Amino acid sequence: MLLKRFAATLGVMLVTLPLHAEGDPAKGEKVFRKCKACHAVGDGAKNKVGPHLNGIVGQAAGANPDFKYSDSLKASAADGLVWDDATLGAFLAKPKDVVAKTKMSFPGLKKDADIANVIAYLATFE
């Protein structure tokens, strides 16, 4: 069921190349400023209101053992949610369409280029 809903959400967003391959990490760093109030990346990154995002690209959802995720995200993680390019793209566009009752209050990024750039930026942190 999660996969059907997710596939419908993605619609035409599916592409043959990973989004982060299309994005510009330097531009993504600028867009990520919108995320910094709640998330951290880089050496010594710690959880804030949201989990740190080091290694997030390709990681299973809910994998940070030191962060208290919403029940909705835990359920999505149990269903096999992985933060690959397509899932991150959909989540960054409309978080509540991917994880209905996420604690993340951010409404989403409007521009596909901003989404690709943020994913490319996040991919630089392992």
Tell me the average pLDDT of the chain. 89
Q: What share of the chain is helix, strand, coil (3-state, %, to 5)?
A: 45, 0, 50
Query: Where is average pLDDT lowest: 19-23, 42-46, 75-79, 119-123?
Result: 19-23
The tokens describing 34, both together, are 């919108």
| Tally: H helices and E strands in the chain | 7, 0
Please state the pTM of the whole predicted model: 0.84
Q: DSSP for 92-121, please give it.
A: HH-HHHHSTT-S--------HHHHHHHHHH
Domains of the chain: 2-122 (1.10.760.10)
Handedness of CA 47, 24, 93, 14 (dihedral sign): negative
